[in-house]
Amino acid sequence: MTERLLVLTRHGESEWNLKNLFTGWKDPGLTEKGVEEAKRAGRQLKALGLSFDIAYTSALSRAQRTLSLILDEIGQPGLETIRDWRLNERDYGDLSGLNKAETAAKYGDEQVHVWRRSYDVPPPGGESLKDTVARVLPYYVSDILPRVMRGERVLVAAHGNSLRALAMVLDRLDEKTIPTLELKTGVPLVYRLNADTTVASKQVLEG
């Protein structure tokens, strides 16, 4: 029986998560807590007896480091890994590096809420969630999903918004619900797919 296993993990806490800054395509490292979150994710996957045939991550170091720490924990440090910018976090443009509270004071709470939680309104110089979905989903369909459907066990370490794009398809969320989906740092989502690419089961490995 074909397993069709897909595990998605948001990177561990970054230095800018801790400082409440818009991060986007900027490249801060993990905090000590973020390192521990990644290691814990690896231990949780190992406890389930999971191993992988291929891994995917973004072009950003916080996701790459998270993946590396997970692979160390499950005993697969040399696993073939594909890094691709299309799995990058949403680009926050002119907001990147700004404190979220200070940005709200400058532009107003309502405007910042629209930029953060609307589906199709981009921040100045950046991407909307819709824009992010438009680059992530074709990559998923062309590169990642075919491997899963062949029975390869696939691990993806990426970002809140790029993983929202995947969850939109996997969890069948619409444009109204997807911006409100919260994906915690360092928490693996274990999907097993049916033969028609729909989700057979989903497990969230919290705590």
Per residue in 181-206, pLDDT tens? 999 999 999 999 999 999 999 999 98
Q: Check if 15 is active-site.
A: no
Fold of the domain spanning 7-159+169-204: Rossmann fold (3.40.50)
From first to last of its 207 residues, what are the pLDDT tens digits of the chain?
Answer: 678 999 999 999 999 999 999 999 999 999 999 999 999 999 999 999 999 999 999 999 999 999 999 999 999 999 999 999 999 999 999 999 999 998 998 899 999 999 988 999 999 999 999 999 999 999 999 999 999 999 999 999 999 999 999 999 999 999 999 988 999 999 999 999 999 999 999 999 986
Secondary structure of 12-54 in HEC code, one letter for each residue: CCEHHHHCCECCCCCCCCECHHHHHHHHHHHHHHHHCCCCCCE
Per residue in 79-92, pLDDT tens? 999 999 999 999 99
Selected catalytic residue, list 11, 13, 37, 73: 11
The answer to whether 32 touches 206, Cβ cutoff 8 Å, is no
In the numeric block, the tokens 């979150």 are attached to 37
Beta bridge partners of 56: 82, 156
Instruction: For residue 20, report the phi and psi dihedrals to the nearest 5 degrees.
Output: 60, 45
HSE toward the beta carbon, residue 76, CA cutoff 13 A: 21
Q: Quote the crossing angle between the two packed helices 129-139 and 160-170, to the nearest 10°.
A: 70
Selected catalytic residue, list 37, 73, 89, 127: 89
Q: Where are the domains of the chain?
A: 7-159+169-204
At 152, the amino acid letter reads: E
Per residue in 158-177, pLDDT tens? 999 999 999 999 999 999 99
| Number of residues that make up the chain | 207
pLDDT given for residue 108 in this prediction: 94
Q: Which residues contact 190 (CB under 8 A, 6 or more apart)?
A: 5, 7, 45, 48, 50, 201, 202, 203, 204, 205
Q: Check if 11 is active-site.
A: yes
Rounded to two decimals, what is the model's pTM?
0.95
What percent of the chain has pLDDT above 70? 99
